[in-house]
Structure 1
Amino acid sequence: MTVLGIETTTDVCGVALNRNGVQLDSIVKNEKHIHAAQLVPMIENLLSRNQLKVFELDGIAVSIGPGSFTGLRIGLSVAKGLAYSSHLPLAAVSTLQSLAYPVWKTIPATESIILSVTEIQRDEFAYALFRAIDFIENHVPDFHLITKNEKETVEKIFENPLHHFLLCGFQAEKFYSMFCSENRNVSFAGKEFNACSATSIASLGERYLERNVIADVSSLEPVYGKNFIAKKSNLFSRITQ
């Protein structure tokens, strides 16, 4: 199974190809405000240098948030357009699960808990908890929003001394300093687990599609974390011509 992954949740604009659980190739640009101009050319370049056409893919996977309003809207618009025009299944991947995915691959299937976070606005975070033992099954995770004035809310999560939490995600260091620095039950997973990754989106998307967890292209909407009115985009049209 060959899957194209699209990641546009933050300043990272990335596309990746996975085949049968193995990363084939990826293109990543970490710049602000480039998604609208760069996403389609990046997909074209990635497919071309791997001698693939869109219709030869087995599916599309896209990060659906929570995250940046504009980035999510652009990424999902392109993904839905490609899936619809080429009759491909679409996997909608939680940004928080994709951020936790590289951590999950490094830990044993124990009772360890992954705390995945992303900053959606200044000093405002979305977070979700994932158990290692049923990580893949939790493909629609509950997530919560928290601001810098709600430290007590986070502290309640860590009250059980039997659980150890691994913190990862976009601006995880900032989250740690704001909410977790005094708690011994929380460990920072490391800087290598801080960035959104199209490869993780493609990998998780492949797992979803293998389990027939397929999104409804017509009704799928981004998970912004805030109320937002999305506008339609035709950015995908060039690739399908």
Structure 2
Amino acid sequence: MSNHHILQIETATPVCSVALSTNGETIAFRDVNEPNIHASRLTLLISELLEETGLGFKDLAGVAVSKGPGSYTGLRIGVSTAKGLCYATDLPLIGVDTLEGMVAGFKELYPGVCAGYARLYPMIDARRMEVYLAIYDQTLQPVMPVSAVVIDAQSFSTEETDRKIVLFGSGADKLKGLFSDNDEVHVVTGFLNSARFLSHKAYQAFLAGEFVDVAYFEPYYLKEFVTTVPKNLTTNPFA
């Protein structure tokens, strides 16, 4: 079987991250968790990664980029860089949903935690008590699509005790105190996004020929926020 190397870029959150995968398996990555460094460090990280692995752009099968939702500035830098590389090298471009990558990475890092909860909620910080979130089951199948919501203490109230949920990501970090007395809601803090979480999905998309148009592709900014607090987020998707 031929080796398909994919360069992966993740800039939707404060973490500036690049990774290289071969046939869906991460072979090297760089994560830098510092604010406002995407513009100055991204191309340098890519160069370092290629040098470390001994690969050149001629060896790549494609470029994958986290497409959002997330930071407007971060997404713009990541997607612009990915598009520029594809223009220069004639490589195909793959867009991967940011939250889908996050939930795959979380299950990889915390399999024991995932086994104990019926629903997984990757979250990206927006502003104040707003977050971008999606809902997945234990098999990583989507239960609720990406949404922008305002969170309060009643957002995840449910009478169905078999649907305990776990929240993680930059949007969840600010919610620890809010749900400290709620046994049905577990908040995992400190989970950092990474380009290495895109490996499996990017390879699947490559094999399926699911490429985006380099000229017209834009990040998924999800600018419009829900202005009211949505209730019972664990139950509405199953009504």
Q: What range describes the TM-score normalised by the shorter chain of this pair?
A: 0.7 to 0.9
The number of residue pairs the alignment matches comes to 218
Aligned to 2:136: 130
CA contact (8 A) 1:66 1:94 kept: yes
Q: How far apart, in 2, do the equivalents of 1:141 and 1:53 lie?
A: 39
Aligned to 1:113: 119
Instruction: Select the structure with the greater relative contact order (CA < 8 A; seq sep ≥ 6).
Output: 1
The reply on whether 1:73 has 2:76 as its aligned counterpart is yes
Give the alignment's TM-score, normalised by structure 2. 0.80
SS at match of 1:215: coil
Gaps of 5+ in 1: 228-241
Give the alignment's TM-score, normalised by structure 1. 0.79
Amino acid corresponding to residue 168 of structure 1 in structure 2: F
Aligned to 1:34: 37
After superposition, the Cα gap between the structure-2 partners of 1:131 and 1:212, relative to the gap in structure 1 and judged at 3 Å, is farther
Q: How far apart, in 2, do the equivalents of 1:102 and 1:159 lie?
A: 29
Correspondence for 1:98 among 101, 105, 108: 101
Q: How far apart, in 1, do the equivalents of 2:7 and 2:58 lie?
A: 11
Q: How does 1:55-204 map to 2 (within 5 A)?
A: 55-105=58-108, 106=111, 112-135=118-141, 138=142, 142-148=145-151, 150-152=152-154, 154-156=155-157, 158-178=158-178, 180-188=179-187, 190-191=188-189, 194-204=191-201
Bigger Cα displacement from structure 2, 78-87 vs 63-72: 78-87
- Render the CA deviation track for 1:106-137: whole Å, top value 9, x for unaligned: 268898321111102233211110123353xx
Higher helix fraction (1 or 2): 1
- Render the CA deviation track for 1:177-200: whole Å, top value 9, x for unaligned: 33x434322223x446x1111111
SS at match of 1:66: coil
Aligned to 2:221: 224
State the Cα distance separating 1:70 from its structure 2 match: 0.8
Amino acid corresponding to residue 32 of structure 2 in structure 1: K
Please list every run of at least 4 consecutive aligned residues from structure 1 whose deviation after the TM superposition is greater than 4 angstroms.
107-111
SS at match of 2:12: coil
Q: How does 1:41-52 map to 2 (within 5 A)?
A: 41-52=44-55
SS at match of 1:101: helix
Amino acid corresponding to residue 214 of structure 2 in structure 1: V
Task: Tell me how large the CA RMSD over aligned residues is.
Answer: 2.5
- Render the CA deviation track for 1:120-166: whole Å, top value 9, x for unaligned: 2233211110123353xx5x972122225x544x225x443332222
Amino acid corresponding to residue 10 of structure 2 in structure 1: E
Q: How far apart, in 2, do the equivalents of 1:166 and 1:88 lie?
A: 38
CA contact (8 A) 2:117 2:166 kept: no
Q: How far apart, in 2, do the equivalents of 1:141 and 1:49 lie?
A: 39
State the Cα distance separating 1:54 from its structure 2 match: 1.4
SS at match of 2:20: strand
SS at match of 2:169: strand
SS at match of 1:29: strand
Q: How far apart, in 2, do the equivalents of 1:141 and 1:92 lie?
A: 20
SS at match of 1:61: strand
Amino acid corresponding to residue 173 of structure 2 in structure 1: E
